Amino acid sequence: MTTEPTRLADLTATRLTAGYAAGEFSPVEVTLAVLARAEAAQARTNAFVRIDSEEALAAAGESARRWRAGRPAGPVDGVPVTVKDLLLTRGTPTLRGSRTVRAEGAAWDEDAPAVARLRAAGAVFLGKTTTPEFGWKGVTDSPRYGVTGNPYDPGRTSGGSSGGGAAAVALGAGPLALGTDGGGSVRIPASFCGIFALKGTYGRVPLYPASPFGTLSHVGPMTRDAADAALMMDVITGPDWRDWTQLAPETGSFRAALTGPVAGLRVAYSPSLGWDVPVAPEVAAAVRTVVDRLAALGAHVEETDPGIEDPVAAFHTLWFSGAARVVQHLGDAERALLDPGLREICEQGARLGALDYLAAVEVRAALGRAMGRFHRTYDLLVTPTEPITAFAAGAEVPAGSGYTRWTGWTPFTYPFNMTQQPAATLPCGVDGAGLPIGAQLIGARHADALVLRVAHALYEAGAAEIPAPPAPATPAGR
């Protein structure tokens, strides 16, 4: 072996598979190093609800045999992956952060489509990562599993609802994480934890079972960089008959599209979407550096707003109705076990009627048309991912903010779940406390490859370099 164990846990998936092919190291060596990081990440941040060491090492051994024979199962063979505890994983309970879901209540004999695709491609599953109850909010804490902290400061939130996956990637507990995003749930924690994430066009990654939050909810990759996200998208976008809303398969490879040009692209930079959003000065300055770098790469950049209104009321109607549907089958005793905030929005959602819901759908359709019109002029929209950096863990909103719900502090993410557009976040700096800042790249529907290409160009240009979080203590120096 030519690479030290600590380095193995820090390598990207792209680098790992190249190392396997060259015989530099084996999937077993990598998995041992990453499992040590996973245990340390768990102690530091509570990123996991389950770590499957025995299963992971068995899968790594099978992968090592395939690589030695020169017959890898797919592009992520032997790469450690984590899965959010909302997605079905064969042989493992999916408890969704809730005390109302019983581990013994199902056979757990089915994979979600993206999980199945990763398994077929030889990925090594490390375990399941934390989520707030049923993924209902933009921070990660739940009555069942407690609070997940930030890798840069465990006293701060990791964001959510895919906070466990983001913390795991940031701390070297697997270079790939599978998350879900219904209002920002891969982008929020990726921004707070200093990693990359992509919410693709709705239907690009098949989903089963269908989310109770309807077509707001996407499945997406959380990774160390854009190249790894493209690698993962090449695997998880395969068709699955169980999802009747899925899009037709891509005609080309996301990885192959990374090398396309950025020069000549029409980029709109909107510091606040034209709304009264108090963006922290350090955040605004960091995102501006991304825009300046795009201009230096030859993009035509213009500061302008898309001319849309905040759809938060319509989003709440759709989101709260979905939450009410999640718990509709529960009796009073089980409802008493729910996160109090979730119980509150479920009660609000249950009071909404069909006409309220249809009015929200109408707002959503108008928003989608407006953004479609906007993208006839601009290839890409750049905004902050979040107007703030990570705040205290265990709270839905920052102390003293005046916000009542998580949507108050994340105005730049949920609109693009409404419109089903591809949106990515990449790190672009840190604030005075050393906490990561994210920049959001938004493309027109179906322009997933373009978003990844621009993000990759920014990584290649050094625009996404930030200090790593403090390394968690691991046994035997791993």
| DSSP codes joined into one string, 365-405 | HHHHHHHHHHTTT-SEEEEES-SS---BTT-SS-TTS--SS
Q: Are strands 124-129 and 149-150 parallel, antiparallel or unpaired?
A: unpaired
**Catalytic site includes residue 128:** no
Residue with token string 């025995």 = 54
Those residues with Cβ within 8 angstroms of residue 462's Cβ, 6 or more apart along the chain or in another chain: none
Determine the Cα–Cα distance for residues 170 and 182; give it in Å rounded to an integer: 22
- From 185, 191, 211, 321, the catalytic residue: 185
Torsion angle defined by CA atoms of residues 90, 93, 98 and 102, in that order, rounded to the nearest 10 degrees? 130
Q: How is residue 230 written in tokens?
A: 């493209």
Determine the Cα–Cα distance for residues 214 and 160; give it in Å rounded to an integer: 18
SS3 state of residue 146: strand
Q: How far is CA 341 from the centre of its chain?
A: 22
- 141 forms beta bridges with 147
Give the Å distances, CA to CA, from 38 to 47, 82, 165, 224.
8, 10, 11, 16
- From 63, 84, 199, 321, the catalytic residue: 84
Those residues with Cβ within 8 angstroms of residue 341's Cβ, 6 or more apart along the chain or in another chain: 136, 137, 396, 405
**Is the pTM above the cut of 0.75?**
yes
Q: How is residue 100 written in tokens?
A: 């109302």
Domain that residue 267 falls in:
5-477
127 torsion bin: left (phi>0), alpha (psi -120 to 50), beta (else): left
82 phi and psi, to 5 degrees? -115, 155
Give the Å distances, CA to CA, from 64 to 29, 75, 413.
10, 14, 40
Domain total for the chain?
1
Task: Identify the CATH number of the domain in which residue 409 sits.
Answer: 3.90.1300.10
Per-10-residue mean pLDDT, the chain, length 478 = 67 98 98 98 98 98 98 98 98 97 91 98 98 98 98 98 98 98 98 98 97 96 98 96 94 95 97 97 98 98 98 98 97 97 98 98 98 98 98 98 97 98 98 98 98 98 96 63
**Catalytic site includes residue 137:** no
- From 26, 63, 142, 161, the catalytic residue: 161
**Catalytic site includes residue 161:** yes
